[in-house]
């Protein structure tokens, strides 16, 4: 057996752990050959861009962030951006990709990726490629899996940042507004907010009233808590009024201009007159050495992916339904996003201890 492995979409701590576990399990337990494909689906197009992976050349990577295979958000073989007659257009090169998979003599392809990459994987599967998926989403917004690697590390990183901002906030009696990742789902804001003792947590799933946010901060001030921590998911939006315009230009950093946190900070400053500082955590949340929990989950995912190949459960992806590592059809998983339920136990628990969601 020869199996190919690729990583797609944004990077997340734990990707290397999945790769390592696939390589070790496939070679040590089954005696198979593992071919690493570089730079996501791009590696399947054009020039052959692969390398055989063995235990010795994947040694020591479990504790390292990122992916040794490289990754990209481009390279969807069903919609490759090309220029035809001088105009940019999209072309379906999936047959070429499948041809390359055959040339590489792969008996199976493991795709480690998020919603987008898994959807591509599923289309390749429907065209006959023996595909197995491993879910990846730092935002934790993939349905059909309780949690994925990377998310726990991102929450830890954001929590550590909140711990640091607390001391400054208290010393200066300031309101610190902190933007964390989460364009559609507020999981990182919710969990880091609770862990980081936030006073206000604003998430996409619960549109906030600026008045209520400010009332909370004013109440705290009256109770002689002159500093407050406000955690804002990048996709948080107000009930009414000018929403934070999320205009990203190609390099992505334009969001700083009119991001969710800037809008919230502005509102608080105008309504309360307090000293406000805004911090956008940004890319540090995706990076760094995965925490122990993510390393374990990544390892289990990699082992399970190889087992799925062994059992020929193609078209399936690994899934964590505690306490079990199991699998589900990829098609079922990519259909919908997993959002924070505004009435969930965790949101209610946070409100019980005095956290405001601006509602």
List the interface residues with its own copies, window 233-292 (CB under 8 A).
250-253, 256-257, 262, 265, 269, 275-284, 286-289, 291-292
Closest separation in Å from C-beta 24 to its own copies? 4
Per the CB < 8 A criterion, the answer to whether 280 and 231 are in contact is: no
> Quick check: 293 binds its own copies (CB under 8 A)?
yes
Closest separation in Å from C-beta 350 to its own copies? 8
Applying the rule CB under 8 A, the residues between 8 and 37 that interact with its own copies are 10-11, 13, 15, 20-21, 24-25, 28-29
x/- site string to its own copies, residues 187 to 206, per CB under 8 A?
----xx-xxxx---------
Closest separation in Å from C-beta 252 to its own copies? 6
Per the CB < 8 A criterion, the answer to whether 131 and 121 are in contact is: yes
- CB closer to its own copies, 39 vs 115: 39
d(CA 133, CA 148): 13
Element (H, E) at 324: strand 324-329
d(CA 9, CA 281): 20
- Strand locations in 97-220 (E): 108-113, 131-135, 175-180, 200-202
Applying the rule CB under 8 A, the residues between 99 and 118 that interact with its own copies are none
- CB closer to its own copies, 17 vs 238: 17
> Quick check: 55 binds its own copies (CB under 8 A)?
yes
Q: Which residue has the tokens 């109770």?
A: 223
Closest separation in Å from C-beta 310 to its own copies? 11
Q: Which of 39, 139, 141, 294 is catalytic?
A: 139
Per the CB < 8 A criterion, the answer to whether 351 and 357 are in contact is: yes
- CB closer to its own copies, 111 vs 306: 306
Stretch near its own copies under the rule CB under 8 A, chosen from 77-85, 91-99, 102-110, 298-306: 298-306
**Prior bond of 323 cis (ω within 30°):** yes
- CB closer to its own copies, 127 vs 164: 164
d(CA 112, CA 297): 13
- CB closer to its own copies, 302 vs 358: 302
**Residue 109 bridge partners (DSSP):** 4, 131
d(CA 166, CA 201): 15
Is position 139 annotated as part of the catalytic site?
A: yes
> Quick check: 88 binds its own copies (CB under 8 A)?
no
Applying the rule CB under 8 A, the residues between 136 and 175 that interact with its own copies are 146, 152, 155-161, 163-168, 170-173
66: region left, alpha or beta (phi > 0 left; psi from -120 to 50 alpha): left
- CB closer to its own copies, 282 vs 331: 282
Closest separation in Å from C-beta 212 to its own copies? 16
x/- site string to its own copies, residues 305 to 324, per CB under 8 A?
-x---------------xxx
Q: What is the largest CA-CA distance in the chain?
A: 71
x/- site string to its own copies, residues 203 to 222, per CB under 8 A?
--------------------
d(CA 298, CA 200): 32
- Please list, in sequence order, all residues whose beta carbon lies within 8 angstroms of the beta carbon of residue 319, skipping any fewer than 6 positions away: 135, 144, 145, 325, 326, 327, 328, 333
Residues serving a catalytic function are: 139
């Amino acid at each position: 057996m020869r199996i190919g492995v690729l990583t797609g979409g944004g990077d997340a701590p734990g990707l290397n752990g999945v790769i390592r576990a696939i390589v070790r399990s496939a070679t040590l337990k089954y005696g198979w050959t593992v071919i690493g494909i570089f730079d996501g689906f791009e590696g399947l197009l054009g020039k052959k861009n692969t390398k055989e992976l063995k235990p010795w050349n994947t040694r020591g990577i479990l504790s390292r962030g990122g992916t040794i295979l490289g990754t990209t958000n481009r390279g969807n073989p069903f919609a490759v951006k090309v220029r035809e007659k001088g105009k940019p257009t999209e072309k379906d090169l999936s047959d070429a990709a499948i041809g390359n998979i055959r040339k590489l003599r792969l008996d199976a392809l493991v795709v480690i990726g998020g919603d987008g990459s898994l959807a591509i994987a599923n289309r390749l599967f429907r065209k006959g490629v023996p595909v197995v998926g491993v879910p990846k989403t730092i935002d934790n917004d993939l349905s059909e899996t309780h949690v994925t690697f990377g998310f726990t590390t991102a929450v830890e990183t954001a929590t550590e940042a909140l711990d640091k901002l607390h001391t400054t906030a208290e010393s200066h009696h300031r309101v610190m507004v902190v933007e964390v990742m989460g364009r559609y789902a507020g999981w990182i804001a919710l969990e880091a907010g609770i862990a980081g003792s936030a006073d206000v947590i604003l998430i996409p799933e619960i549109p906030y009233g600026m008045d209520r946010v400010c009332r909370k901060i004013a109440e705290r001030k009256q109770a002689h808590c002159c500093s407050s921590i406000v955690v804002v998911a990048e996709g948080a939006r107000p009930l009414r009024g000018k929403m934070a315009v999320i205009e990203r230009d190609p390099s992505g950093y334009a969001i700083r201009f009119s991001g969710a946190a800037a809008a919230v900070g502005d509102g608080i400053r105008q309504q309360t007159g307090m000293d406000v500082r805004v911090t956008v955590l940004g890319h540090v949340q995706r990076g760094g050495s995965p925490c122990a929990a993510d390393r374990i989950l990544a390892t289990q995912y990699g082992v399970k992916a190889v087992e799925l190949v062994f059992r020929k459960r193609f078209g399936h992806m690994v899934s964590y339904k505690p306490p079990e590592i199991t699998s589900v059809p990829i098609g079922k998983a990519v259909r919908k996003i997993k959002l924070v339920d505004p009435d969930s136990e965790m949101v209610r628990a946070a409100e019980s201890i005095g956290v405001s969601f601006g509602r």
